[in-house]
Amino acid sequence: MAKLMRMKGPNGLRPCRTCKILGISGENNTHYVPCFRHDGEFYDPLDLPLRTHDEFIDDAVSVEKATTNAEAERRAKDTGINGLPVLATLSSLEFPASFGHDLMHLIPENKLDVGTGDYILQPKVVEDIGRNCVAAGDTTPTAFGARVPNIATQLHYFTAESYTLWTTLLAPVVLRGRFPHKRYYDHFLGLVDIFNDCLSMSLSREYVDNDLRARIGKWVTDYERYYYQYDESRLSACPLTIHALLHIPDDILNGGPMWTYWNYITESFSRRLREIAQNTAIKVKYQLYTELDLSPWHEEELSGHVVAGYNGIRVLRPRATGPLSNRLTTAVAYGQLLRLLEFTIALPPECDTASCPLLLAAIRPVKEPKKSPYPFPVYQDGQFRPIEVIDVDDLSCLVARVPANRRGPLVYALYEHPDSMGSAVEAE
């Protein structure tokens, strides 16, 4: 996005494309942007000097009108703008308001440089966390996303999707109790909450402009205190991506919830094209036309069938028949899906209603503890309640199980994937 806007980025004295904050030069001519300054100047994270459209265009034109290359470079470095973007000819666009930040790269793929402090995890701890990542893949439905690789040994396999699942699903569980001081864990959870809020289907303007802005401002201020520590030798802890978090509220106000314009859709489409190309080459070389058939009709053939009256729910093969208990109760709980039961009730001839198909689910509910020290729902491995049978429409979502402890009986944290079952919507 910055390239489209012809921004200079971290090499400019004013590296941010949204505001005119002055960068501090660090290694390799990279400019960092902490709010706290040792010269007595302080940038208010809630009141940054934002660029306006007219100022942006004027600065860009100024670079274009420079009489020498040296003068153009000097002006570009001073303003952070390399020249007038081609897109500036479109009257429907406003600079920089029309160019929001990409949440996918802003939070999940953001990394903290290794420094000194009691927030650094020991190698053995990181290895243990990596093993938990792999173990969680065995108990997390694919609806949540691809398996997260071992973060200790396979970090090079991480994608944006992996970082997102790590940030929102695994890290809140596997990082609990790992830091010498709890404030680092609490600070990380604050970022996860911000990330989840930015992905909400709808957000009120009042909440974004007041509550969300204040939370992000406090998070960045705490970040500088914990990691930058107001030490100029640690400037690398304040990259442009941390500063850009402060502009999330304006991005949402200008463009809506950030999931509407993040890069997941583009990258997912590109990955799909790559898979099709690779699949085609293998299919032709090894004559695996049937085995690697990805056509829609073939996927439909392998995806089971739909039961009448259960819109949005598809039953996978194979199916089985057997006796059914007549004890039906109502309950709300997490549980393990054991079997789907499909049958048709043959009504008496005097009934005007036609035969009614039913689709039931045999569930083994987990036994949740009455009191738990964890900030999320958990259950102990192997602790179940008696098997129950419920209507499939009562299944609301898939649940991932993430190992939540290091000692004693194995405890799993439970994370929901809303609407992943495609259950019917009941009228209120």
What domain range includes position 45? 9-119+179-262
Please tell me the predicted confidence (pLDDT) of residue 17: 92
Same domain, 349 and 253: no
User: Among the residues of 91-228, which ranges form H helices?
Assistant: 103-106, 123-137, 160-165, 171-174, 182-198, 205-206, 213-223
* pLDDT tens by residue, the chain, 428 residues: 788 899 988 888 999 999 999 999 877 778 899 999 887 778 999 999 999 999 999 999 999 999 999 999 999 989 999 999 999 999 999 999 999 888 877 776 565 444 456 778 888 999 999 999 999 999 998 888 889 999 999 988 888 788 888 988 999 999 998 888 899 999 999 999 999 898 888 889 999 999 999 999 999 999 999 999 888 888 888 889 899 999 999 999 998 888 888 877 777 777 777 777 777 777 777 777 666 665 554 554 556 667 777 776 776 655 454 555 555 556 568 999 998 888 777 766 665 656 677 888 899 999 888 887 788 888 888 889 888 888 888 888 888 999 887 677 888 888 887 655 543 333 33
CB 374 within 8 A of CB 413: yes
Please tell me the predicted confidence (pLDDT) of residue 331: 56
Whether 131 is covered by a domain: the verdict is no
Same domain, 236 and 282: no
Same domain, 79 and 92: yes
Same domain, 18 and 74: yes
In whole angstroms, what is the distance from residue 394 CA to residue 333 CA? Answer: 11
In whole angstroms, what is the distance from residue 120 CA to residue 51 CA? Answer: 37
Whether 312 is covered by a domain: the verdict is yes
Whether 135 is covered by a domain: the verdict is no
DSSP 8-state code for residue 156:
G
Is this model's pTM higher than 0.75 or not?
A: no
Contacts of 320 (CB under 8 A, 6+ apart): 339
Could you count the other beta carbons within 10 Å of the beta carbon of residue 223?
Answer: 20
Same domain, 210 and 354: no
Phi-psi region of 151 (alpha: psi -120 to 50; beta: other; left: phi over 0): alpha
Same domain, 256 and 282: no
Please tell me the predicted confidence (pLDDT) of residue 318: 52
Same domain, 85 and 217: yes
C-alpha dist (Å) from residue 190 to 59, 144, 228: 37, 22, 18
What tokens were used for 187? 């600070």
Same domain, 235 and 109: yes
Whether 2 is covered by a domain: the verdict is no
Containing H/E element for 32? strand 31-32
Same domain, 88 and 197: yes
How many structural domains is the chain composed of?
3
Same domain, 258 and 286: no
Contacts of 344 (CB under 8 A, 6+ apart): 355, 356, 357, 358
Q: Are strands 378-380 and 411-418 parallel, antiparallel or unpaired?
A: antiparallel
Phi-psi region of 230 (alpha: psi -120 to 50; beta: other; left: phi over 0): left
Same domain, 189 and 243: yes
Whether 49 is covered by a domain: the verdict is yes
> Among 243, 273, 294, where does a domain finish?
294
Same domain, 102 and 236: yes
In whole angstroms, what is the distance from residue 281 CA to residue 274 CA? Answer: 11
Whether 428 is covered by a domain: the verdict is no
C-alpha torsion 189→190→196→200, nearest 10: 150
Nearest to 307 by CA among 422, 427, 141: 422
DSSP string, 233-295: GGGGGS-HHHHHGGGHHHHHHHH-SGGGSSTHHHHHHHHHHHHHHHHHHHHHHHT-TTTT---
Whether 400 is covered by a domain: the verdict is yes
Whether 129 is covered by a domain: the verdict is no
